Amino acid sequence: MSGVASARWVLHVDLDQFLAAAEMLRRPELRGRPVVVGGDGDPTKRGVVSTASYEARALGVGSGTPLRTAFKRIPDATFLPVDKEHYEAASAEVMAALRTVTDEVEVLGWDEAFLGIEVAPTDDPEAVAREVQRRVLAATHLHCSVGIGRNRLQAKIATSYGKPAGVYRITGDTWFAELGHLPPDAVWGIGAKTAAKLTELGITTVRQLADADVDVLATRFGPATGPWLQRLGAGRDGATIRTTPYVRRSIGHEVTFQHDLEDWADVVAQCRVLAQQVAAETRAGDRLCLRAVVKVRWKPFFTETHGRALPEPSDDPALIEAAALGALELFTDRRPVRLLGVRAELVRDDGS
């Protein structure tokens, strides 16, 4: 507003060991102990770790570790079920605290958010970051780490350097010094599969990705994804912070059975249950379903999906269930079923 230009920064806020920390809030005796949150809390069942406390991570258990493996590694850890409502409530308090700093908040799940801030020339973004940490801690007794960047990508990656409870800054000036020598999957948005394909092209570092020929990338990865990968390598993320309220594109439920379903009649019955659940939430959310998509994971971990459009956009449970059962009929295999899922694709604002 004044004649002196302020600088624009992006902060990425990430709660430290969020699910475990949220459990410690109501069970202080767990502090300092290995705590593993995942599944229904029974580490002898199928499932994976959602969040492990730092003490558990030091013993070789992290997000995505099978619960049974975690139990083998740390038999005396405290295993807790995922308590969605509890974390949603804690998350809402965190996000409210962030909104006392700025209205420009983009929420990414329970425990992360981007903040867009303008910083006066006399101040620095680290001061704002520490103020964010102070307000979150005061409001919720939870610690967070804050990454600072000129865009979301830089800020997001900076956070990992600041953990736990720290502040770290990455800009275009330091991007290559920090990341240039690392493999491409060190960058947010690039996973193992893409990294393997990049290796086939002779690209094994972030620096090489930034220097890569965009046309070569477009040929290999597609007209949108190719150029996007190059921008990621260069630390440029054009996406601005999205402050518009989140609108779901789909509502789904899936279940991994403790014992694979051998009888197809059981699969049909489970499909009905999931479809009714999804339909109820579609109606409760005052949305209309366009298509029902059914996912089957067969015995040994091979996944297939089929979908069926509804005769017309609808929230009628009977129509949604019929579409799901119709989609289920498109599966011709009859192997044991490990997982079954039903997802409703919803009509968007623009009608598509």
Partner DNA sequence: TCTGGGGTCCTAGGACCC
Binding site for DNA (CB under 7 A): 39, 44, 46-48, 50, 63-64, 66, 68-69, 71-72, 82, 108-112, 156, 185, 187-195, 197, 221-226, 248-256, 291, 293, 300-301, 303-309, 327, 330, 338-339, 341, 343
| Closer by beta carbon to DNA, 151 or else 194 | 194
- Alpha-carbon distance 177 to 217, whole Å? 24
- Minimum distance, C-beta of residue 1 to DNA, in the bound complex (Å): 32
Long-range contacts of 87-96 (CB under 8 A, 24+ apart): 87/18, 87/19, 87/22, 90/18, 90/22, 90/25, 90/140, 90/142, 91/18, 93/139, 93/140, 94/15, 94/136, 94/139, 94/140, 94/142, 94/144, 96/139
Q: Which residues are within 8 A (CB) of 104 and not within 5 positions of it... i.e. 6 or more apart?
A: 115, 116, 117, 241, 243
Quote the tokens at residue 203. 């690209």
Segments of 224-301 assigned E as strands: 250-261, 289-298
- Minimum distance, C-beta of residue 66 to DNA, in the bound complex (Å): 4
| Closer by beta carbon to DNA, 39 or else 125 | 39
- Minimum distance, C-beta of residue 302 to DNA, in the bound complex (Å): 8
**Contact (CB, 8 A) for 171 and 36:** no
| Closer by beta carbon to DNA, 150 or else 308 | 308
- Minimum distance, C-beta of residue 185 to DNA, in the bound complex (Å): 7
- Minimum distance, C-beta of residue 67 to DNA, in the bound complex (Å): 7
Q: Which residues are within 8 A (CB) of 57 and not within 5 positions of it... i.e. 6 or more apart?
A: none
- What residues are paired with 298 via a beta bridge? 302, 337
- Minimum distance, C-beta of residue 7 to DNA, in the bound complex (Å): 25
| Closer by beta carbon to DNA, 249 or else 335 | 249
Choose among 142, 149, 148, 187: nearest CA to 165. 142
- Alpha-carbon distance 21 to 53, whole Å? 8
Mode of pairing for the β-strands spanning 112-119 and 7-15: antiparallel
Choose among 15, 233, 9, 225: nearest CA to 107. 15
**Contact (CB, 8 A) for 95 and 105:** yes
| Closer by beta carbon to DNA, 123 or else 266 | 266
- Alpha-carbon distance 293 to 340, whole Å? 11
- Minimum distance, C-beta of residue 92 to DNA, in the bound complex (Å): 15
- Alpha-carbon distance 48 to 303, whole Å? 18
Catalytic residue at 118?
no
| Closer by beta carbon to DNA, 6 or else 250 | 250
Which spans in 27-119 are helix H? 54-57, 67-73, 84-99
| Closer by beta carbon to DNA, 129 or else 344 | 344
Of the candidates 112, 118, 312, 345, the residue annotated as catalytic is: 112
Catalytic machinery residues: 112
